[in-house]
Amino acid sequence: MKTYKDYEAINLSINGETRKVIIKHSDTLLRVLREKLGLTGGKPGCENGDCGACTILLDGKPVKSCMMLAIEAIDKNITTIEGLSNTEIQKAFVEYGGFQCGYCTSGFLLNAYALLETHPDADDDTIKEWLQSNLCRCTGYEGISKAIKTAQKKKAGI
């Protein structure tokens, strides 16, 4: 049995690096990433699991980092937006106006990235199912939708 008390020094594997960090058990992963590790790409849009602006990848799957404890991420691979570079989906977001204010963008990008890695041939229903997890107030989702479809084609070499 593992037992944790008070402050805990833990190792987290983030974007391919091991980061040592001191946390409290009740610290959410979002707050630890932002406030202890300076990874502010994920945002506290609601801290209630509704908006998806805090989405990160945990072992490749999108999760809302405001809804989990940092301590649960031990022995998992965390990917934040800071760990995503020059991907097709990032390029397509730039090209097709997948963002305006940029606040929801990290969450959308990570979710969309995971989607295209998991289901390279995702149809409209699957795209919708995944991306309904995130809110955007600026774009009306048009640019996001175009970007995903473009990145999907690029990845498939079309």
Partner 1 sequence: MISYDFEYYRPDTYEGAVKLFHQLNNESKNPLYYSGGTEIVTNARKNVIKTGAIIDIKAIPEGNLLRETEDAILLGANLTLNEIIEGSNFPLLNNVIRKIADHTVRNRLTLGGNICGRLAYREAILPLLTTEAKMVVAGENGLKSMSVGEIFDKRLKLQKGEILLQVEIPKKDTELPYYHERKEKQGEIDYPLVHVVALKKEERIKAAFTGICAFPFRSPEIEEILNDKNLSFEERAKKVVDKLPSNSRDDVFASKDFREFLMERSIIHTLKNLEGGI
Partner 2 sequence: MDQYKVIGKSPPRKDSKDKVKGKVKYVNDINTVGMLHTALKTSPHAHAKIISIDIAEAMEKPGVRKVITGEDIPYIVGLYLGDKYPLALGKVRHYGEAVAAVIADSEREALEALDAIKISYEELSPVRSIEEAMNEDAALVHEELDTYQHIDGIYPEGDSNVANRTKIRKGDIDLGFEESDFIIEDTFSYPQGDHVALETRAAIAEIKEDGQVIITSTSQAPFVVRSLMSSFFNIEPGKITVTAPPLGGGFGGKAGIQLEGLAYLLSKAVEGKPVKVVNTREQDMMASPGRIGFEGKVKLGCKKDGEIMAMKLHYMFDTGAYADYSVNISRAAAIACTGPYNVPHLTCDSLCVYTNHPFTNAYRGFGHLELAFAIERALDVMADKLGMDSAELRKKNAIKAGDTSPTNSVMDENTGDLSKCIDRVKELIQWEEGTYIPLGENKVRAKGMGCLWKAPAMPTNTDAGAILTFNEDGSINLNCSIVEIGQGTGTGLAQILAEKFKMDLEKIHIVTDINTRVAPHDWATAASRSLFMAGRAVMEAAEDALTQIKETAAAVLRCPSEDLDVAEERVFIKDEPHIGLDLKDVVLGYVYENGNAIRGQIIGRGRYIARRITGIDKETGEGKPALEWTLGAEAVEVELDLKDYSYKILKSACVMDVGKVIHPDLARGQVVGAMSMGLSLATDEAYVFNSRGQVLNNDLRSFKIMRYGEMPEYLVDFVETPQGDGPYGARGLGEQGIIGIPAAVINALSKAMGMQLKELPLTPENLWRARKEENTI
Kindly report the length of the chain.
Answer: 158
Which of the stretches 4-12, 13-21, 99-107, 150-158 binds partner 2 when contact is defined by CB under 8 A?
A: 99-107
Residues 137-156 within binding reach of partner 2 (CB under 8 A): 137-145
**Interacting partner of 75 out of partner 2, partner 1, none (Cβ under 5 to 8 A depending on kind):** none
Q: Least distance (Å) from partner 1 to the CB of residue 50?
A: 9
Residue 2: how many other CB atoms lie within 10 Å: 5
DSSP category for residue 21: E
Rule CB under 8 A: is residue 65 a binding residue for partner 2? no
Rule CB under 8 A: is residue 97 a binding residue for partner 2? yes
Residue 50 to residue 134: CA distance in whole angstroms: 8
Look at strands 7-14 and 55-58 and give their pairing. unpaired
Residues 66-105 within binding reach of partner 1 (CB under 8 A): 66-69, 71-72
Rule CB under 8 A: is residue 25 a binding residue for partner 2? no
Of 5 and 20, which CB lies nearer to partner 1 in the complex structure?
Answer: 5
Of 47 and 82, which CB lies nearer to partner 1 in the complex structure?
Answer: 47
Rule CB under 8 A: is residue 3 a binding residue for partner 1? yes
Burial 23-48 (b: 16+ CB within 10 A, else e): beeebbbbbbbbeebebebbbbbebe
CB-based contact 105:112 (threshold 8 Å): no
- Minimal CA–CA distance to 30: which of 5, 3, 12, 8? 12
Of 94 and 118, which CB lies nearer to partner 1 in the complex structure?
Answer: 118
Rule CB under 8 A: is residue 135 a binding residue for partner 2? yes
- Please name the helix (run of DSSP H) or strand (run of DSSP E) that holds residue 139, with its range, or none: none
